[in-house]
Amino acid sequence: MQEAMIARAKELLADGSVSRVMGWKKGEFSYDISPAVFENADQLVDFVYDDFCGANVSKYLINESKKEGKILAFLKPCDSYSFAQLLKEHRIDREKVYVIGIPSYGKADINKIRAKGIDGVLGIKSEGTDFIVDTIYGEEKIAKFEAMSERCLTCKSKKHVDVDEMMGEEGEWNAESKRFDKVAELEAMTPDERFEFWRGELSRCIRCNACRNVCPACTCVSCVFDNPNSDINNKAAASSFEENMFHIIRAFHVAGRCTDCGECSRVCPQNIPLHLLNRKFIKDINELYGQYQAGANADEKYPMVNFTFDDCEPGIVYKRGGNQ
């Protein structure tokens, strides 16, 4: 796949259709891969696409689409939802991006591989239901369901939203996804248990802002947490509860716009399951306003900013036991 992508990128660069390529390159280790922009064909030697390329590149296209010339972007299905949502919010100039959809069969989570005692990772490839991990000690085989990141195990869609061309096979929306199971589990807790759960998780937060900075829904020119007029920023020093509020406010801010790409949890150095906050909102929106997938439809108003006569009344919170 990687070679075919590079070849196609070179073609498009050569015929002048695009002037840059958005993709991924290796970091210090083969598994710490980061999104990268390649300015010419020569730079593409660093282009990589493998089972560690989980990073969502759509957010980078905000700035890239402001520059001169068109950029080629390879988007995985989940990236394409974020991309379409950004289009809806007028954050990306669609004319400046040439989108090639690429399939994704689930990306590996390095932490899970390490937890299996596999160290010295040099590379990864996919073989049926297993990942073959190349290490300095030789090849190791690990079942995909044991090594895949949580968001891929509960993948919502292998189908893209808005692409100019597809490479490889287009997939399907996965109606069977179990992505809300963990949320349902939390909902079944008593309020006290749930509070303890989140206090436990969020107390580890070091406010590195990685979740905010990677999030394709957090694209404000200036974040409300950095805005002195919001009167929020100076609360950080005043309360140890602040990091909890940060995540809750952030979840509110992206409610209805979060496409559930799972980047927040992927980048969290403290392994806080932040995506569960967003999924709770998505689940609630689905239940209260009907099925809705952010990014799936570029023209539709999202339920949080739309009013219909059938909307539930605020009393629904009470009816669902939210007062307890």
Partner 1 sequence: MQRIGVFVCHCGTNIAATVDVKKVAETLLQEPGVVYATDYQYMCSEAGQNMIKDAIKAQNLTGVVICSCSPRMHEATFRKAVAAVGMNPYMLEVANIREQCSWIHKNIEEATEKAIILGRAAVAKVHLNAPLIAGQTPVTKRALVIGGGIAGIQCALDIADAGYQVDIVEKEPTVGGKMTKIDKTFPTLDCSSCILTPKMVDVAQNENIKIYSYSEVESVKGFVGNFTVGIKRKARYVKEDICTGCGLCTEKCPQKKVPNDYNLGLDTKRAIYIPFAQAVPKVATIDADYCTMLKTGKCGVCSKICTAGAIDYTQQDEHLEEQYGAIVVATGYNPIKLDAFDEFAYSQSPDVVTSLEFERLMSASGPNGGHLVRPSDHKEPKTIVFVQCVGSRSTVECGKPYCSKICCMYTCKHAMLCREKYPDTEVYVFYIDVRTPGKNYDEFYRRAVEEYDVHYIKGMVGKVCPEGDKLKVQASDLLTNEQLHIDADMVVLAAAIEADKSARPLATLLTASMDTNDFFTEAHAKLRPVESPTAGVFLAGCAQGPKDIPETVTQAGACASKVIGLLAKDHLVGNPCVAHSDEMMCNGCSTCANVCPYGAITYETKDFSRRKDGTLMRRVASVNPAVCQGCGCCTVACPSGAMDLYGFSTKQIMSEVDAICK
Residues 282-301 that bind partner 1 (CB under 8 A): 301
Residues pairing with 38 in the sheet? 21
CB of 313 to partner 1, least distance (A): 12
CB half-sphere exposure, 146, CA atoms < 13 A: 14
Site string for partner 1, 237-276 (x = CB under 8 A): ----------------xx----------------------
Shortest distance (Å) from residue 196 CB to partner 1: 25
| Distance of alpha carbon 236 from alpha carbon 249, whole angstroms | 13
Choosing from 137, 141, 306, 312, the residue that interacts with partner 1 (CB under 8 A) is 306
CA neighbours closer than 13 Å in the CB half-sphere of residue 65: 20
Query: Which lies closer to partner 1 via its Cβ, residue 66 or residue 125?
Result: 66
The DSSP annotation for 71-110 comes to: EEEEE-HHHHHHHHHHHHTT-S-GGGEEEEE------B-H
Q: Pick the closer one to partner 1 by CB: 66 or 204.
A: 66
- When asked if residue 169 is in the footprint of partner 1 (CB under 8 A), the reply is no
- Among candidate residues 245, 221, 252, 220, the one with its CA nearest the CA of residue 231: 245
Q: Give which of 16, 17, 19, 21 is closest to 35, Cα–Cα.
A: 21
Q: Considering only 75-83, 157-165, 214-222, 312-320, which stretch makes contact with partner 1 by CB under 8 A?
A: 214-222
DSSP β-ladder status, 33-38 and 97-101? unpaired
Give the separation between CA 275 and CA 289, rounded to whole angstroms.
20
Nearer to partner 1, 308 or 323 (CB): 308
Helix, strand, coil percent values for the chain (each to nearest 5): 40, 15, 45
| 275 sits in which H/E element | helix 275-289
Chain positions 68 to 107 lying near partner 1, rule: CB under 8 A, are: 89-91
What is the closest distance, in whole angstroms, from the C-beta atom of residue 233 to partner 1 in the complex? Answer: 10
| CA–CA distances in Å: residue 88 to residues 141, 235, 252 | 42, 32, 19
213 sits near partner 1 (criterion: CB under 8 A): no
> Please, are residues 10 and 41 in contact by the beta-carbon 8 Å criterion?
yes
Q: Is 66 a binder of partner 1 (CB under 8 A)? A: yes
Interaction with partner 1 in 118-137: which residues (CB under 8 A)? none
Q: How far is the CB of 38 from partner 1 (least distance, A)?
A: 21
Determine, following the binding rule CB under 8 A, whether residue 222 of this chain makes contact with partner 1: yes
Kindly tell me which residue out of 190, 229, 240, 291 binds partner 1, with binding defined by CB under 8 A: 229
CB of 67 to partner 1, least distance (A): 9
Site for partner 1 (CB under 8 A): which residue of 221, 240, 313, 323?
221
Number of residues that bind partner 1 (CB under 8 A): 22
Residue numbers of the site for partner 1 (CB under 8 A)? 66, 89-91, 219-224, 227, 229-231, 253-254, 301, 304-307, 309
